[in-house]
């Protein structure tokens, strides 16, 4: 009986040793294949120690908002008695333009709101030959800036980014963890123009149980939060929940 217990402990230790740790690239031993494996490439690329990036309790403002197709704009003139009449509600269409009626189409994709205000004014002056005064452009629908939560969460998907969300906010927006979610295998991936993006390990247990905010990073447009699956040993004994 005592030998059997020691044998069980050795087997469990082997499973935990194979699946845990940040320095190893191996997926670990698991008789139950992961539904959402993190993958050897992500394991090899991930940064295990907190990275000096904006995070909970130390957030920053994001870069200037650049309009993209799908965003909604409200275009107004400051003088309500002006003869200039602009179509107010504007959705940036797939080619990056808005329709200003008799003032023509205007390419706005990739521009900031102040830049669009100047461009609208220039389009009006070109037709009317008079200064229409201040032109007010407001961003009313920010659908182009999103982040993704994937893997072992309740409701994976694409979510709009307001600008102050953290990794924890993102996971909660996706319905939270499931019973199959591995607390060891949570990563934040920030894409780059070429090659592998910046892959950062997220210490989910420390974030939710001890308020350790070091890896509760502030999200940026295009970020991917990925939650891997638990192996069968963790499913049975919940070793990952005691770390």
pLDDT at residue 23, as a whole number: 47
Does pLDDT of 16 surpass 70? Answer: no
pLDDT at residue 87, as a whole number: 87
pLDDT at residue 154, as a whole number: 96
pLDDT at residue 194, as a whole number: 78
Give whichever of 2-11, 23-32, 44-53, 168-177 has the largest mean pLDDT: 168-177
What average pLDDT does range 221-233 have in this prediction?
93
CA separation, residue 85 to residues 31, 118, 119, 214 (Å): 68, 16, 16, 51
Does pLDDT of 12 surpass 60? Answer: no
Across the chain, mean pLDDT equals 85
Does pLDDT of 11 surpass 70? Answer: no
Q: Which of 2-16, 83-97, 165-179, 187-201 has the lowest mean pLDDT?
A: 2-16
Residues 47, 129 share a domain: no
Please indicate, yes or no, if residue 4 is contained in any of the structural domains.
Answer: no
Phi, psi of 195 (to 5 degrees): 75, -165
Does pLDDT of 29 surpass 60? Answer: no
Q: Is 211 left (phi over 0), alpha (psi -120 to 50) or beta?
A: left
pLDDT interval class at 28 (50, 70, 90): very low
Alpha helices (runs of H) in 129-223, residue ranges in sequence order: 167-173, 204-210
Residues 153, 172 share a domain: yes
pTM of the entire predicted model: 0.81
pLDDT at residue 110, as a whole number: 96
Residues 113, 51 share a domain: no
Q: Which of 112, 140, 168 is the last residue of a domain?
A: 140
pLDDT at residue 30, as a whole number: 44
Q: Which of 24-33, 46-55, 193-202, 214-223 has the lowest mean pLDDT?
A: 24-33
Which residue, chain included where needed, has tokens 């894409």?
191
Residues 157, 52 share a domain: yes
- Kindly report the number of other CB atoms within 10 A of residue 223's CB atom: 23
Residue numbers of the domain that contains 208: 21-62+145-242
pLDDT at residue 9, as a whole number: 47
Q: 175-195: per-residue pLDDT in tens?
A: 999 999 999 999 999 998 877
Cα separation of the two ends of the chain? 28
Q: Which of 140, 171, 196 is the last residue of a domain?
A: 140
- What are 45's strand-pairing partners? none
Please indicate, yes or no, if residue 108 is contained in any of the structural domains.
Answer: yes
């Amino acid at each position: 009986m005592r030998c059997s217990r020691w044998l069980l402990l050795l087997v469990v230790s082997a499973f935990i040793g194979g699946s845990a740790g940040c320095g190893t690239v191996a997926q670990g031993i698991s008789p139950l294949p992961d539904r959402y494996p993190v993958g050897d490439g992500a394991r090899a690329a991930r940064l295990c120690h907190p990275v000096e990036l904006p995070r909970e309790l130390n957030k920053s403002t994001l870069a200037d908002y650049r309009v993209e197709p799908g965003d909604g704009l409200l275009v107004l003139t400051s003088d309500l008695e002006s003869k200039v009449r602009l179509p107010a509600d504007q959705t940036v269409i797939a080619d990056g333009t808005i329709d200003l009626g008799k003032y023509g189409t205007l390419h706005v994709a990739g521009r900031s709101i102040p830049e669009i205000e100047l461009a609208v004014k220039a389009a009006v002056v070109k037709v009317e030959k008079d200064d229409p005064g201040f032109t007010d452009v407001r961003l009313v629908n920010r659908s182009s800036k999103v982040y993704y939560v994937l893997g072992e969460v309740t409701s994976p998907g694409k979510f709009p980014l307001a600008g102050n969300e953290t990794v924890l906010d993102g996971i909660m927006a996706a319905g939270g963890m499931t019973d199959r979610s591995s607390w060891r295998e949570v990563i934040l991936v920030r894409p780059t123009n070429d090659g592998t993006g910046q892959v950062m390990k997220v210490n989910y247990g420390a974030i939710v149980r001890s308020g350790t905010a070091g890896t509760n990073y502030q999200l940026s447009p295009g970020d991917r939060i990925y939650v891997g699956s638990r192996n069968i040993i963790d499913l049975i004994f919940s070793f990952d929940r005691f770390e």
